Chains A and B, each alone.
Chain A
Amino acid sequence: MFRLEARTSTPAWFNLALPLLAIAATLVLCSGLIAIAGAGVVDAYGVMLSASLGDSYAITETLVRAAPMIFTGLAVAIAFRAKFWNIGAEGQLLAGAVASCFVGAIPMPGYLAMLLMALAGAAAGALVALVPATLRVKFKVDDVVSSLLLNSVIYYALMALIEGPWKDSFSGYPISPPIEDSANFPVLMEGTRLHLGVIVALIAAPLCWFLIARTTLGFRIRVTGENPEAARYGGINVQRVLLSTALLSGALAGLAGVGEVGGVHFQVMSDISPGYGYSGIVVAMLARLNPLGVVPAAIFLAAVMTGAEAMSRATGVPAFLSDVIQGTALLAMLVALLFTAYRIRRVGAPA
């Protein structure tokens, strides 16, 4: 006989084991779809793996794709730590992209331009995130709903920009004018798209970890999330912590947009983000809201996305498999997290 019993503490290796368990379960579940599409499961996953991590060029492509999800993953992880339900990373990313594109189009020395792009993008993201946080603090509006609705507002605002004032009058394409060449982020490896922003993303993760784990603000964020009553009792201004968290979270999501403009597209178009903001939620949950875990989690999702496109070309299985994998991984991770609350114990057979 087996029985579930409550668990009081969880061993450290769970942080690694649970995401791996969730990912394994996800790949097994999604293999059904590959089979339905008429392809060999091993072949399809094989192509995905080799196309995303098989050689150094593939690895750089995966890292380039991981960078925005590291930022949105950090944005979500920090917000969720405070139980600020920021589902608006997508809109904050788009706002960051638009702001940095504005700045990047102004002629000025390259490094100054990059710095100002980052500042403008972070500020734009932070401002957008401040809306749901303020609405929650002042008007008790549910932050989930307002941040989701705001994503639509920002998206249509971006579309109105590129269909209106920004529209390419020569070609008629709905794309913004490109940023100055000097503002393009430097490429770190000849012949690849690996740009400065990827390194910044990789550095941002340990910085966020330090902030959460070792600073006063980080402590306040954690206490506010874990027990707002205790936080209030301990003299923490919970509302102010929520607003600070929103600014920080939005700024990180905004930086995701900056990297896409400065390092990948050099302009803004309607599909500048294939849902990186929503993927950030998956990344943050796989990382168990730990900023250090965000990096491997983002690289995993990036590998799935890069790999899915190659798999689609090779086997004909629709590349949307990567979207199904993301959703399944999130749900599988939530189920796996049950093991942190419960353990399965063997109970002696009745005599």
Chain B
Amino acid sequence: MSAVFEQIFQVGFLAAIIRIATPLAFATLGEMFSERAGVLNLGIEGIMLLCAMAGFTAASLSGSLWLGVLVAVLTGALMGALHALFTVALGLSQHVCGIGVTLFSSGLAYFLYRLIFGQQSVPPSIDGFKPVPIPLLSDIPVLGPAVFNQFTLVYLAIVAVPLAAFVLYRTPWGLSVRMVGENPRAADSAGVSVIATRFQAVILGGALMGLAGAFLTMAQFNAFTFGVVSGRGWVAIALVVFGRWDPWRSAGAALLFAFVDALQLRMQASGLGHIPYEAFLMLPFIFTIVAMAFMSRNAVAPSALLKPFRREER
């Protein structure tokens, strides 16, 4: 085991944590905005997959990675709007609609990918994003190369966390989001449009999920496979609870999960005995479930989460 611990503070290990945490941070922030406005989005797993596919396809066909990112973000926003249409405008069950959005988006991703790329033995890949070292900062020992020699999308995630906190806690729109998530009746009396605010929050959340998907296929793996998301969306939902619906804590939760995930990857690589690597893949998920058991008792969800708002009901 000591060999495993020796590797922890290596540059490569830290860099791996940052890379694993990036899509989770985007996804977790996206889910957080949605839930703070009172809308659980279980569509996240499928939305990430569809965005991963859409971004990859756009980048692959156009040759422009940033166009791919844009397409992924727009796709995410569109799917967010779809989820909001069902859950906010029509007031349908957030649980079941979310599963429906995930099944629909995943199915559409599989279908379109097969239609566009056909069946190939080796999945087509793209020349993905390259790390961009930040002058001076990347020269800091250990931390520099791990954190400041990364993809632009990683820097975007690092900036997104304080930005999300600022938007949520320091802007009028953020106040509206928190109001419609805690007490929509009061928000309505104060002249805040509950429906519009929830729509905006779920759409913004979808766009962030799109960034998460784009990172997977355009920076991390540079290819699309049907298992490219493999539960990261579900994990993000758990991380929101773990992070108590706060941007900073959520980002911290994403880093913690990424640490466990990077650790199990190292354990796979170090080839502990003859244990199949799948046994290690279970660990982050078990960790998340156990962590939720510890955190959920004290976790206070937004009061109006899961509750549709209808003005005429008193």
Contacts and interface: CB of A to CB of B under 8 A. Distances in A.
Contacts of A141: 289, 292-293, 296
Given A160-B282, A320-B111, A335-B86, A149 B96 contact: no
Nearest to A174: B276
Interface stretch (A220-228, A239-247, A290-298, A323-331): A323-331
A321 interface: yes
B96 A321 contact: no
Interface in B213-231: 230-231
Nearest to A157: B282
Nearest to A140: B296
A153 interface: yes
A331 B100 contact: yes
Contacts of A146: 289, 292
A160 B241 contact: no
Contacts of A282: 103
A146 B102 CA distance: 17
Interface string A125-165: 00000010001000111101110111111001101100110
Interface in A291-346: 318, 320-328, 330-331, 334-335, 337-338
B104 A135 contact: no
Contacts of A318: 110-111, 114-115
Residue of A152, A157, A334 with most chain B CB atoms under a 10 A cut-off: A152
A33 interface: yes
B108 A334 contact: no
Nearest to B108: A324
Contacts of B32: none
B194 interface: no
Contacts of B93: 334
A276 interface: no
B234 A148 contact: yes
A1 interface: no
Given A135-B293, A334-B97, A163 B276 contact: yes
B6 interface: no
B95 interface: yes
B115 A149 contact: no
Interface string A85-124: 1010000000000000000000000000000000000000
Interface size bracket, A side: 35 or more
A139 B296 contact: yes
Given A145-B238, A324-B104, A87 B276 contact: no
A146 B292 CA distance: 8
A337 B100 CA distance: 14
A37 interface: yes
Contact of A278 (B95, B99, B101): B99
A338 B42 CA distance: 20
A327 B101 contact: yes
Contacts of A322: 107
B278 A163 contact: yes
Nearest to A312: B114
A156 B285 contact: yes
Main secondary structure of the interface of B (DSSP, over half): helix
A131 B99 CA distance: 20
Interface in A1-49: 33, 36-37
A212 interface: no
A251 interface: no
B295 to A, nearest CB: 9
A69 to B, nearest CB: 13
Contact of B104 (A139, A149, A281, A328): A328
A12 B235 CA distance: 41
A149 B278 contact: no
B231 A330 contact: no
Nearest to A330: B100
A36 B274 CA distance: 48
Interface in B59-115: 86, 90, 92-93, 95-97, 99-108, 110-111, 114-115
Nearest to B234: A148
Nearest to B294: A139
B241 A142 contact: yes
B282 A156 contact: yes
Given A144-B95, A145-B234, A153-B286, A160 B107 contact: no
A255 interface: no
A156 B299 CA distance: 29
A260 to B, nearest CB: 20
Nearest to A165: B276
A323 B279 CA distance: 29
A285 interface: yes
A61 B105 CA distance: 28
Residue of A139, A328, A331 with most chain B CB atoms under a 10 A cut-off: A331
B171 to A, nearest CB: 29
Interface string B232-245: 00110110010000
A325 B230 CA distance: 21
A312 B269 CA distance: 40
B290 to A, nearest CB: 10
A164 B273 CA distance: 11
Given A144-B42, A149-B235, A156-B285, 12 more contacts: A135-B289, A141-B293, A145-B238, A148-B234, A149-B231, A149-B288, A164-B279, A318-B111, A320-B110, A326-B107, A331-B86, A335-B90
9 contacts: A85-B95, A149-B234, A160-B278, A281-B103, A320-B107, A323-B106, A324-B104, A327-B105, A335-B90
What are the 9 closest A-B residue pairs judged by CB atoms, nearest first? A327-B104, A323-B107, A327-B103, A324-B107, A159-B278, A320-B110, A318-B114, A330-B100, A163-B276
